[in-house]
Structure 1
Amino acid sequence: MQANTHCKWPPNKLEDIMSVERGYDITLCVMRDLKLTKNRTSKLYPLKDLFHNVTSLTSVSYGDLAELPRSFWEKVKYPDVYHTYPQDVPMKQIVKDIKAGLPVSDMPEYNFPMRILKTSTKVCARDTHHDLVIVVKSGNLGWDARTAFRAYMQREKARYPKLKVGVVFSL
């Protein structure tokens, strides 16, 4: 399949993400591969892997969990049950496909438009390298939430001083 040059991430040059309104549009360009998703079935998990004292060989999907009787939930295995959340996707292949501009087997649940009006000179400075950049969708009046998040990130930075994390707020 030919790569779509209009839908490639990361962009080749800064101009590729400049917004007409002004600022930068960093929304991921993702297309679903209908051939791969048409025949998709839910992943199944053995009950005995999710709940203590269960000998049944029955397997359930994430959607089936809501139908189980309360007696099962009194025997739940944490954190094992969290792994059933439907984000079990082939992430390496998806990232590779997005970078090449190819359709992906699984679409992101939350791919809201992200527009950056002004970039942080600290986070986005030339020759600055990060292990991770977190883009936080925020609102114009979200001062308190941004302040609280910055304080949280400062505490985490103290816990993990070798990890270089940048934070950018998208309004």
Structure 2
Amino acid sequence: MFKSCFGKIFWATTTLIFFLTSPAHSARIKDLSSIEGVRSNQLIGFGLVIGLTGTGDSATNVFFSIQTIVSMLKKLGVTVPTAEVDQLKFKNIATVIVTSDLPPFAKQGDHIDVTVSSLGDSKSLQGGTLLMTPLKGPDGNTYAVAQGALSIGGFSVAGAARGIQKNHL
């Protein structure tokens, strides 16, 4: 009798536990924790995109584009006469801000993705090339350098009456 009663209680308890407990959810340790002092670092830089087909900054609205170009030319040993600076008009150059996240444990020589955003009134950066742009951290030190042809996602199709654009072109 004792065995029969014990067996019934055992199976009833087991059944209750089975039906009343919630299923276990697993989580990776890296999703729940972070190592002290280990994080990505945000980087920022100011640069020039060249090679635009007439879609760059306008000299009349964006004065710092001309200042940036003249400053860059001086660093390269080219002197632009002061009287001529006001006459410069470049429609194929745009000033940009370059941002990136430097991942933790990045090694020298690793490639990182950067985001290039127009600072002036350029219409498009499509087809442009970013000139060497130092990327600095919050402490002012240079941690990376960005340079190269820009890859712009999306598409743009235009006809006589309408046009369509997808994503950030």
Q: TM-score, normalised by structure 1?
A: 0.21
| Larger relative helix fraction | 1
Of structures 1 and 2, the larger Rg is shown by: 2
| Larger relative strand fraction | 2
Greater relative contact order: 1 or 2 (C-alpha under 8 angstroms, separation 6 or more)? 1
Q: TM-score, normalised by structure 2?
A: 0.21
